[in-house]
Amino acid sequence: MTVLHLDTGKEMRGGQWQVLRLIEGQRAAGLRPMLLARYGGSLFEAACEKGLPVARLSLRKAVSSAFRYDITHAHDARSHTLEAVLHARNLVVSRRVAFSIGSRWKYARARRYLAVSEFVKSVLIEGGVPEEKIRVVYDGVPLLEPAQGTAVIAPSNLEDPEKGGALAAQGARLAGVELEFTASLERHLHRAAIFVYITHSEGLGSGALLAMSAGVPVIASNVGGLPEIIRHRENGLLVENAPESIAAAIRELRDDPGMARRLGLAARQTIMRQFTVEHMVRRTMEVYSQVLS
């Protein structure tokens, strides 16, 4: 099976990491994937470093490739629009965001939609996409070494209006702790004792999944798809988007190490059961097979 992947993202965010892991998994399974990505962007460079098949995404390249592959898989809104206009062959689209659908014409073009959560699936249905065209495929993350740190860490997203970095910082100040922001979670999670993931809108929360894989207890906003991965007081804490609520959760984990260890262990078990890269790759390939059958 040949698969053309397209992603126009500039930075390595959650979606771009999923593209990279998916292509690696597909190659290992014997598929022949090809990636078109923004030249000079982080995903393009990461694919080159790993020796994965990648080419510069351009209109000419997209047009010449539109009917050469068994499956065309668009991973973001711009590549979805491009392939919808080109009437790409057997178009599959990953939908990660939680906001409402804009163009119903565009969303009528794909054979299947891979919703990153049940919440995102409900947004697609509300926007007019037939339920039979939607499959939920959760993100997959690598299983990291268990963290043994003391830091309180949050993702570096202060410039993103949909995220809640400022709220997280306010909550940490109220709790009397220093909050460390990082743009490289996989590199820095080993130093974490608590991970704070505050957001106003979230399809699923791959950053939270990565922290859970390292056994770090997560404090996350009770929004979007996050309640699908975090069960309150079972494998993490869900909070309202208010500094006082965030501060109370930080204090509770800081003052009760036993509870923090229990939540972290349960979080890691959750990843192993449901959110591994292998799960994500297998479920995606099952959708491809349905499209081609």
Report domain extents, the chain: 2-139+276-292, 151-274
Cβ(165)–Cβ(241) under 8 Å?
Answer: no
Query: What per-residue confidence (pLDDT) applies to 162?
Result: 78
Query: What per-residue confidence (pLDDT) applies to 281?
Result: 98
Q: Is the pTM of this model over 0.75?
A: yes
What is the chain's mean pLDDT, rounded? Answer: 96
Tell me what the mean pLDDT of segment 174-201 comes to.
Answer: 95
The H or E element that residue 218 is part of is strand 218-221
Domain topology for 151-274: Rossmann fold (3.40.50)
Tell me: pLDDT of 213 over 70.
yes
Buried b (16+ CB within 10 A) or exposed e, 23-43: bbbbeeeebebbbbbbeebbb
Which of 3.40.605.10, 1.10.3720.10, 3.40.50.2000, 3.40.50.300 would CATH assign to domain 2-139+276-292?
3.40.50.2000
Query: What per-residue confidence (pLDDT) applies to 269?
Result: 98
Tell me what the mean pLDDT of segment 216-241 comes to.
Answer: 98
Tokens of 254: 């800081």
Q: Which residue has the tokens 């659908």?
A: 101
Query: What per-residue confidence (pLDDT) applies to 102?
Result: 83
Tell me: pLDDT of 46 over 70.
yes
Tell me: pLDDT of 291 over 90.
yes
- In total, the chain counts a number of residues equal to 293
Query: What per-residue confidence (pLDDT) applies to 283?
Result: 98
Identical fold for domains 2-139+276-292 and 151-274, yes or no, is yes
Model pLDDT for residues 64-110, shown as the tens digit of each residue: 998 999 999 999 999 999 999 999 989 999 999 999 998 888 999 99
Distance CA 46, CA 54 (A): 10
Tell me: pLDDT of 160 over 90.
no
- Give the type of residue at 151: A
Per-residue pLDDT band at 241 (split at 50, 70, 90): very high
Query: What per-residue confidence (pLDDT) applies to 25?
Result: 97
Per-residue pLDDT band at 158 (split at 50, 70, 90): low
Tell me what the mean pLDDT of segment 103-121 comes to.
Answer: 95
Query: What per-residue confidence (pLDDT) applies to 89?
Result: 87
Contacts of 70 (CB under 8 A, 6+ apart): 1, 2, 3, 89, 90, 288, 292
Tell me: pLDDT of 161 over 80.
no
